[in-house]
Amino acid sequence: METPAINDLSISIATENGTGSASANNVLFKAIFKMGVPCSSKNMFPSNIQGLPTWYQIRACADGYMARKDVIDVMVMFNDATAAKDIYRVRDGGILLYDDSTPLAANLKKDGVQYFGVPANKLIQKIVPASPLRIKQRNMIYVGALAYLFGIDMETIKEVLQDTFGKKPAVIESNLVCIEAGFNHMKEKGYTQNIARLEPIPNGNKGKIITEGNTACALGAIYGGASVVSWYPITPSSSLAEAIEHYMPRLRKKNGKATYAIIQAEDEIAAASMMMGAGWAGTRAMTSTSGPGLSLMNESIGLAYFAEIPCVLFIIQRGGPSTGLPTRTQQADIQLMYYASHGDTRHMILIPHDMRSCFDMARRSFDFAERFQTPVFVMMDLDLGMNFWSSEPLKLEKEPLDRGKLLTAEQLEQWEKQGKKFRRYFDYDGDGIPYRTIPGNPHRKAAYFTRGSGHDSDARYSEDEKDYKETLDRLRKKFETARKYVPKPVIETHDGVKTGVICFGSSYEPVREARDRLRAAGLKTNHLLLRALPLTQESKEFLAAHDIVYLVEQNRDAQMASIFKDEWPELAAKIVSVLIYDGLPVTTLEVVRQITQHQASARKGAEKWQEKRLTASV
Amino acid sequence: MAGEKVNRISLTEKDYEGAPSTMCRGCGHDAITASIIRAFFESSIDPRKVVKLSGIGCSSKTPAYFLSQSFGLNAVHGRMSAVATGANLANHSLIPIGVSGDGDTAAIGLGNFCHMMRRNVNITYIIENNGVYGLTKGQFSATADKGSRMKGGKLNDMPAIDLCELAMTLGATYVARSFSGDRKQLAPLIQGALAHKGSAILDVLSPCVTFNNHEGSTKSLKYIRENLDPIHDVDFIPFYENIEVDYKEGTDHEVILHDGSRIVLHKLTSDYDPSSKMQALTAIHAAVAEGKFLTGLIYYDPDRPDFAEEMNLCETPLTELGQEVLQPPVELLDQINAEFMK
């Protein structure tokens, strides 16, 4: 007999989308959170509104790891369409919870797992009168069944219902009845299991919040002074703009008037153009989009780069174009961001990895954009942006907004007195960053005419080869200056350790856990969490100090590794890419597997291994 | 300069000029530039309160040739409408003038143009319409008339997009057509557009003397001159002047603009009421059927609020807000954090 694991459990819930499972899953997840057990959830949903399969995976983990767990202990099999596959997803010795209103089909019987039936369809027919609600509330029954099996207190569930539906007592009551029906059924049957127990941890999650990266970014943008927000709906970025729409009236209305403008544009080309117009006019402007939208925005990004217009783009990465995998996660638009647009362009990118850094980098991105007078990207992915993460509360660092080298009429007056002439694109300070004025500045020398790459230091039209090259070189110099300003990587090193791991964004959690597992298995690693592009000296030193550095990223072609190798070709051979690109949130096991496999074959030479891996993936 | 006429803010017409034009000699666009300069001068508008916007094409170069004291943004091809939308929301106290062409507006930028008007973004939007792509050397544009011939003889068999008709349908609130060579009509129409709050669309026929001025073209100087069909004479009276004009009760129309300025439309041949969208559409269709260019103030809607008003923007331009407004108090973030704990 197995001894139950305490507070170490993964539950995968298979449902059809559009059946209200999101509410049920939310109640279950928040109840575990309220017990004080560290937990995380991953929503693997289809690009569809009703009728396609969706899985919601909850992980409770006393040790606080939040990556998607690589094994599924419990499968809630509430979608007939995927049941035949779902029975193989659960681990040996795991549990399958299914609706036994009708007998289980023969092909769904599998050895080595425990089956528990709860007659959800039958129960719901007794409880809920025929109505559209019936199908939605059916899912609440598994919440009750799981609560009984794993020890979630009904009082905790009531509190969650109160928090969620506080203003609608009738909704609380109707959901509670369903949850209780599931709970009582299991109790009456006397079902028991011994694989895991959830036990309350007093103050375990005290002071912690649950939110999504898109919401944290939205709040960060608002606190960063975002004033014109133009966007076009696209998964998985829409919820960022919608969160801004949700919070702006509460946070930024003054005497009933809006101190902001949010525009749902007609397409991403317009969204980017509006952002550019607003940034040029002198306000803090932003957009949010995903890969396909970013493709459409490229032309305006180029103009903003060459005309030196501040603006911020939140890119929530997902899988591929068109019908692709819009609801799955990727980090495969890194180079599309870094080199966005035509001509010689490269851009600053901020890379959050948790809720606090989402908020903080979103806020600061506007300072960077104005300081450097350029488009700044905040690189997100669906996993970070749309999944629930528990976190310390969002924290506002109080510091003055950095408007950069923005000249007022008074300052221009001073300049004139000093005999200094305002030249829009002249590098006065040797850092590549010119001075800027904005429309409405009443000084008679403030105005200039903005255009693309063909201009001289005085913003006059020019096709002169010297002027053009000067512009390109100065912009490159500005980019070099940016290296000193962008957030530095967070580095963890231990004496004598010669193996490093680099990761960024949503890979942080699985890598954190993978490193602990590798250490337990005898491989100690140092770590660098990358937080921005351009790369900084710290990353170079990290590479130089190690024999081998695993660079974990979520794309096929090692896009970030290419940027490293381009930057420091002499260190390129030290990088071994760990590439995960199936569209699902990274699991710890996959990181461990790839690193271990490479370690095992390291004697044969890293190159050979890389070659083999590449061939295997083709 | 001594003796030179100054306007209400003590500027001469010369003060509204820009860099020397690089258009072809005799280009209609230069004549429009002159009318723009005249309009700003006559209306005594402070150039420092103006923003000039454009897309790409010959026409889009022209904002460099007027109002050198104003900020200007030469955006990317077809996107001026969207850029103007952003700029207008950022600072709604500025007076935006956009210059575009028929390629920029009616082809690549058509979608954005439509949505700008649908939102009634405040702008004076001039289309320098010559039916041809000049800067890429003579391809047909989407406003080229069916049956018109290209310089090499190629026949255009697609119907033209009528930008005034489109503008009325999509929600623009000041719609006019004019001719680059008719400054007497064009300058007051521009003044009217500048005084109007909302999308003011001016479709200005502007012959391309290099690529579309030949026999067989319906946008040649000769063809346009022969087929102009003005619906009225136009007088513009700025809000600060209290001039009585010759006004014939019953046949002339007076239009009161948002800043209190007035446009008086003197009847030429038949009665025309610019506040009637149906009448305007009928008149445009009738003129097109006859191969005529209807010119004048075709449509005017004084009632529709502009986009900035629709968005309930505060009076202070967003560009002038300080950190105390832009950054909400930390207590509100604490509240939100508390909500996230539930």
Q: Residue A320: its pLDDT value, please? A: 83
Give A432-471 pLDDT, tens digit per residue.
Answer: 999 999 999 999 999 999 998 889 999 999 999 999 999 9
Nearest to B48 among A210, A258, A442 (CB): A442
Q: Is B117 helix (H, G, I), strand (E, B) or coil?
A: helix
CA distance A139 to A179: 9
Q: Please judge whether B68 and A447 are an interchain contact, meaning their C-beta atoms are less than 8 angstroms apart.
A: yes
> How many angstroms separate the CA of residue B80 from the nearest CA in chain A?
8
Q: Please judge whether B89 and A273 are an interchain contact, meaning their C-beta atoms are less than 8 angstroms apart.
A: no
**Whole-Å CA distances, B190 to A472, B26, B116, B246:** 39, 21, 19, 21
Question: Minimal CA–CA distance to A246: which of A211, A196, A200, A272?
Answer: A211
CA closest to B75 among chain A residues: A451
Nearest to B48 among A269, A274, A447 (CB): A447
**A572-606: buried (b, 16+ CB within 10 Å) or exposed (e) per residue?**
eebbbbbbbbebbbbbbbbbbebbeebbeeeeeee
- Segments in chain A below pLDDT 50: 617-618
CA distance A218 to A538: 30
Q: Please judge whether B93 and A300 are an interchain contact, meaning their C-beta atoms are less than 8 angstroms apart.
A: no
Q: Please judge whether A260 and B49 are an interchain contact, meaning their C-beta atoms are less than 8 angstroms apart.
A: no
Measured at the CA of A406, the angle between CA A359 and CA A370, to 5 degrees, comes to: 25
pTM above 0.90, yes or no: yes
Average pLDDT across chain B, whole number: 94
Measured at the CA of A376, the angle between CA A375 and CA A382, to 5 degrees, comes to: 125
Nearest to A450 among B72, B323, B330 (CB): B72
**pLDDT band for position B260 (cuts 50, 70, 90):** very high
Which residue type does A70 have? D
> How many angstroms separate the CA of residue B207 from the nearest CA in chain A?
25
CA distance A199 to B104: 66
Q: Residue A147: its pLDDT value, please? A: 97
A470 and A447 Cβ atoms separated by less than 8 Å: no
A353 and A381 Cβ atoms separated by less than 8 Å: no
Q: Residue A49: its pLDDT value, please? A: 79
Is the pLDDT assigned to residue B302 strictly greater than 70? yes
Task: Compute φ and ψ for B165, nearest 5 degrees.
Answer: -60, -45
A204 and A35 Cβ atoms separated by less than 8 Å: yes
Tell me the HSE value of B37 on the side-chain side, using a 13 A CA sphere: 23
Measured at the CA of B96, the angle between CA B88 and CA B209, to 5 degrees, comes to: 135
Q: Residue B77: its pLDDT value, please? A: 96
CA closest to B329 among chain A residues: A251
Copy the structure tokens of residue B182.
Answer: 């008719």
CA distance A187 to A202: 26
CB contact, 8 Å: A449 with chain B? yes
A38 and A47 Cβ atoms separated by less than 8 Å: no
Question: Minimal CA–CA distance to B126: which of B193, B183, B203, B178?
Answer: B203
Which residues in A lie closer than 8 A to residue B112 (C-beta atoms)? 266-267, 269-270, 273
Beta-strand (E) ranges in A90-214? Answer: 90-98, 114-117, 196-197, 209-212
CB contact, 8 Å: A246 with chain B? no
Q: Residue A255: its pLDDT value, please? A: 94
**A96-131: buried (b, 16+ CB within 10 Å) or exposed (e) per residue?**
bbbbbeeebeeebeeeebbebbbbbebbbeebbeee
**B4-43: buried (b, 16+ CB within 10 Å) or exposed (e) per residue?**
eeebeeebebebbbbeebebbeebbbbbbbbbbbbbbbbb
Q: Please judge whether B90 and A269 are an interchain contact, meaning their C-beta atoms are less than 8 angstroms apart.
A: no
CB contact, 8 Å: A409 with chain B? no
Q: Please judge whether A273 and B312 are an interchain contact, meaning their C-beta atoms are less than 8 angstroms apart.
A: no
Copy the structure tokens of residue B312.
Answer: 């309930």
Q: Residue A607: its pLDDT value, please? A: 59
Q: Residue A618: its pLDDT value, please? A: 41
CA distance A294 to B248: 57
Q: Residue B151: its pLDDT value, please? A: 87
Q: Is B136 helix (H, G, I), strand (E, B) or coil?
A: coil
CA closest to A212 among chain B residues: B340
Interstrand relation of B253-256 and B262-267 (parallel, antiparallel or unpaired) = antiparallel
CB contact, 8 Å: A408 with chain B? no
CA distance A547 to A525: 11
Q: Please judge whether B337 and A393 are an interchain contact, meaning their C-beta atoms are less than 8 angstroms apart.
A: yes
The reply to whether ipTM tops 0.85 is: yes
- Other beta carbons within 10 Å of A417: 8
Q: Indicate the helix (H) or strand (E) that contains B178.
A: strand B174-179
Nearest to B87 among A278, A303, A442 (CB): A278
**Whole-Å CA distances, B75 to A21, B51, B83:** 47, 13, 7
Which residues in A lie closer than 8 A to residue B318 (C-beta atoms)? 227-228, 259-261, 278, 283
CA distance A575 to A598: 12
Which residues in B lie closer than 8 A to residue A441 (C-beta atoms)? 48
Nearest to B86 among A285, A438, A446 (CB): A285
CA distance B270 to B275: 15
CA distance B84 to B310: 16
Q: Please judge whether A230 and B314 are an interchain contact, meaning their C-beta atoms are less than 8 angstroms apart.
A: no
DSSP assignment of A385-451 equals: HHSEEEESPP----------SBPPHHHHHHHHHTTPPP-TT--SSSSS---B--TT---TT---EE-
CB contact, 8 Å: A158 with chain B? no
Q: Considering Cα of A565, then A569, then A575, then A577, what sign does the dihedral take?
A: positive
Q: Please judge whether B314 and A277 are an interchain contact, meaning their C-beta atoms are less than 8 angstroms apart.
A: no
B30 and B38 Cβ atoms separated by less than 8 Å: no
Burial of residue A253 (CB within 10 Å: 0-12, 13-18, 19+) is: middle
Nearest to A259 among B63, B79, B314 (CB): B314
Helix axes B163-170, B110-119, angle to 10 degrees: 40
Look up tokens 């946070």; give the residue. Answer: A251
Alpha carbon A241 to chain centroid distance?
Answer: 14
Nearest to B73 among A211, A261, A450 (CB): A450
- Other beta carbons within 10 Å of B242: 7
Q: Please judge whether A439 and B318 are an interchain contact, meaning their C-beta atoms are less than 8 angstroms apart.
A: no
CB pairs under 8 A between A and B: 215
B281 and B171 Cβ atoms separated by less than 8 Å: no
- Other beta carbons within 10 Å of B252: 17
Copy the structure tokens of residue A49.
Answer: 């509104």
